[in-house]
Structure 1
């Protein structure tokens, strides 16, 4: 406790603070003046020192100057804004001056008019009032003007004046479209077979019963093998074959589409003769598809038309179009939606039609960013998967235009063709980087990294692929003219068949035979292998 005897309680101690002694005055003289201190440094300049780091000539009277970057577009925008106001040498204008200029500009406009008058003179025009223009006085030819009058020749624009009843030539684009529509013409069909009906009055739609193989059994119930040799060839197409389709389930008929704008159907058994041709497109046919029963099929063409045909009679039942080119077309295999089909278009859309209402689009799926390449139904036809040139894969619920899965990786390439595995668990895709990828068809739609099929060349072409009915093998075309076969489980390439010198773009496995495969390509010849 403090001792209050030396320091009374109500008095401050005199030596409680230690006061530092004040320093004495410094009489040293600085030998530099303000001019000396503002001079540049003595000696040569440092060549390794960045000039932007120094503050030399950076400090100015009105502020601090700094180097900056200004884009060409930004500079031009600011430069033109200054030029519109008179340039850098313009006079300084106060706010009152700017208001006077705006008022003078408004004075040159016509009056807004009376809101109570709808038409005629003095009617309300509001903000759409025009600016007053100098009125011209019409002067007759030869009439002299006074010395203080100005003369201006006003040319009359008569180019846009068209007399009543004049017939003008349509634009070139309209004429080209009209010519294209005229070339479509009527749909025709020609029967090429020896007899349209057999002795019992049955057409070629009847599944033959006089064969060694049972064509009515369940597809995939027998073991498949890789074919070894060519047993037949059809050469009735004049140009490249774009699609091959076997008749559903039985496979006793083979339907083909070609770049010669025709679709042809032929008998696979007996005499293997050409039966009927379907004509009605003006450009190459891009895709074809049977319905579930095979009684009708769809054809899509580069003339932007999709047509529904009767397989037996060759009659065109309906026509469908959106004004864009269809790339892929697929009937819904579900019996409840057997009258509906999907079409992948060149305008990034997937459209859904009903064959009973050809002029109406039932549904539209618009999420892709490029042309559609493939459409594959999965999960008991309740969903479908699509690929596009935008290097992505999307999965959809049928009738719901919102994707439930979106897959896009930086190392992905466009997938141009697809084939479902008979088990329904996988979908094989032809990737444009010379490999075949496999994705799951379940809820997750993940890529199966263990399955990767290589050894063929498909870059630059939409090469078709197909799985054997028992799911044991995978077949694909090749740009070098081969038909390639892999083992589904081991991903090992078993065999290559030489099928001409040009690219093989179409490959289909027979649904009932053990080792029958049809192939076609750019040479227009359809080859049948066993």
Structure 2
């Protein structure tokens, strides 16, 4: 214990600092310290910057040394130690440059194609100087059109010369004794390589001559049709019609399209049909549209995708009365005149045809070279010669059928025109289009008076006017039927909305019952839907077709009967 105590006291004595007594010689000591510090700092400043690859630094660097930039070779363009800026030069120092991708691609492709390009400095051109001197220093992106044509001609000419030279060399190499040459084959006709012998042509029989003439006529018609298509017209087709009834006129001399005298309205109250009473199956492909004969409904017209139009008897025999064959492709739309004696048809062959219903003759044909999607006659009795057609090129074209001239074009839509509906005592009409908008026009004035387009709107491929002429029902492709007012503002009626059916992608027709109490529409699953106009509730659905039920029409007089058509090629009659 005593030893430990002595050792601790000794350590305490050693730790105590010696007292520094003030003396007169302390001032020179301060000067020596300042001088030493200055010398140390100068030595540190003289030291080179720290190498970043070193792991150990043998001295304490200053802040400036620690963060000093890495020193390279002296700048060749430095003047009095001050650099004048980075420059590209031959000694290896390259300044950083930013080149836009387009400019880089332009110069790269120019160098690969023409052999020269612009120097990165943008001041000189480098590369093939001969090509550069012979042609203007142009890049491949801004060579004039004439220069392109000249170079193509030169290239084509050089290729032809090379080919001719190669053929001449081959002919020189060929020997007449070589059986593989053409010359040897010409001299040795009996060779198995000689081909068929050219025999003198025998005289044709009468049947062969007739066949040859028919073939030549078909070929000429085909070439003529191709010329017509090149000029922008529709595809030509022979117009013909076949009557399937017993006789054109009855014993009293009345035409077969005349309405029976005993047909009349049963009552003013409409009822929902319940059962299928007849099916018409004459089309080989789907049926795209049906129309009842105006006012009486004793005949029904159907447009088929087999390019044929058929008219069926509804009241008596319920057979096909006449087939109209004038289109070369599927028929898109049909429309009767006011008295039903004539009708219009629009086909995918780009033609609009005006038919006589009774005789089946084509009165006139119209075409702009575009596909007509919808055709309508002006409903006014004194304007039955005015045709309106919505085309695939966004226009509504108006023809005067007496003169055959286009009298007006309504060109405001941004997509193909799908529907034309006359409102306001036929002074105005509403059109819908693939551009998801509705436009209202004054008849004869190509200026839109009302434009309806909302972000939530979808395309409306079918529109029908309510029997009271105050509302429009529009089939919207978001699986609902919207109601618009036909008054001045053409507002959407938000309280009336008919939904439940699936029509996305299909231009299913929408229609009203004659008394306005029911709304009907087909759907993509082959059903026909019936809604109550007041409550907007689904009243009934009928499974009508295998496939899409594209069209539905209520009989104008017999208020419990409805006709439907579908893509299964059937037209069905319900009661």
Tell me the TM-score normalized by structure 1.
Answer: 0.70
Provide the residue aligned with 1:204 in structure 2.
256
Q: Residues 241 and 325 of structure 2 are in contact (CA less than 8 Å); yes or no, is this contact kept in structure 1? A: yes
**Structure 2: distance between partners of 1:231 and 1:513:** 14
Provide the residue aligned with 2:480 in structure 1.
435
Shift of 1:292: 1.4
Which of 263, 271, 281 is matched with 2:309 structurally? Answer: 263
Shift of 1:335: 2.4
Provide the residue aligned with 1:319 in structure 2.
365
Shift of 1:214: 4.2
Provide the residue aligned with 1:290 in structure 2.
336
**Structure 2: distance between partners of 1:452 and 1:318:** 41
Residues 50-83 of structure 1 deviation map (CA, whole Å, 9 limit, x = unaligned): xxxxxxxxx99479xxx99987447646888999
Does residue 135 of structure 2 align to residue 86 of structure 1?
no
Query: Which structure 1 segments of 5+ residues have no match?
Result: 1-28, 43-58, 94-100, 107-128, 134-151, 160-169, 216-220
Residues 435-455 of structure 1 deviation map (CA, whole Å, 9 limit, x = unaligned): 111111122111111111111
Q: Residues 225 and 236 of structure 2 are in contact (CA less than 8 Å); yes or no, is this contact kept in structure 1? A: no
**Structure 1: distance between partners of 2:544 and 2:239:** 33
Which of 230, 254, 266 is matched with 2:300 structurally? Answer: 254
Which of 444, 449, 457 is matched with 1:399 structurally? Answer: 444
Does residue 551 of structure 2 align to residue 506 of structure 1?
yes
Residues 116-140 of structure 1 deviation map (CA, whole Å, 9 limit, x = unaligned): xxxxxxxxxxxxx99xx9xxxxxxx
Provide the residue aligned with 2:240 in structure 1.
188
Q: How do 1:22-421 residues align onto structure 2 when only pairs under 5 Å count?
A: 39=65, 41=67, 61=85, 72-73=101-102, 76=105, 86-88=118-120, 156=161, 177=226, 184-211=236-263, 213-214=264-265, 222-358=268-404, 360-421=405-466
Shift of 1:394: 1.2
Does residue 564 of structure 2 align to residue 524 of structure 1?
no
- Taking CA–CA contacts closer than 8 Å with sequence separation of 6 or more, which of the two structures ends up with the larger relative contact order? 1
Shift of 1:158: 11
Tell me the TM-score normalized by structure 2.
Answer: 0.65
**Structure 2: distance between partners of 1:69 and 1:344:** 54
Shift of 1:464: 1.0
Provide the residue aligned with 1:477 in structure 2.
522
Shift of 1:343: 0.6
Change in 2 beyond 3 A, CA 1:87/1:487: same
Residues 155-188 of structure 1 deviation map (CA, whole Å, 9 limit, x = unaligned): 65999xxxxxxxxxx9xx9898359899843211
**Structure 1: distance between partners of 2:97 and 2:517:** 67
Q: How do 1:440-479 residues align onto structure 2 when only pairs under 5 Å count?
A: 440-479=485-524
CA RMSD of aligned residues (A): 3.9
Shift of 1:400: 1.2
Q: Residues 502 and 524 of structure 2 are in contact (CA less than 8 Å); yes or no, is this contact kept in structure 1? A: yes
Shift of 1:376: 0.8
Residues 455-508 of structure 1 deviation map (CA, whole Å, 9 limit, x = unaligned): 111112111111111111001001111111001111100001111322110100
Change in 2 beyond 3 A, CA 1:70/1:325: farther
Shift of 1:337: 2.1
Q: Which has the higher helix share?
A: 2
**Structure 1: distance between partners of 2:84 and 2:110:** 26
**Structure 2: distance between partners of 1:191 and 1:258:** 17
Query: Which structure 2 segments of 5+ residues have no match?
Result: 1-36, 50-61, 69-82, 88-95, 126-131, 138-145, 151-156, 165-218
Provide the residue aligned with 1:126 in structure 2.
none
- SS of alignment partner, residue 177 of structure 1: helix
Larger radius of gyration: 2
**Structure 1: distance between partners of 2:496 and 2:239:** 45
Shift of 1:298: 0.5
Q: Residues 374 and 420 of structure 2 are in contact (CA less than 8 Å); yes or no, is this contact kept in structure 1? A: yes
Residues 200-245 of structure 1 deviation map (CA, whole Å, 9 limit, x = unaligned): 010122221124x349xxxxx8121111111111111111111111
**Structure 2: distance between partners of 1:90 and 1:368:** 49
**Structure 2: distance between partners of 1:60 and 1:497:** 90
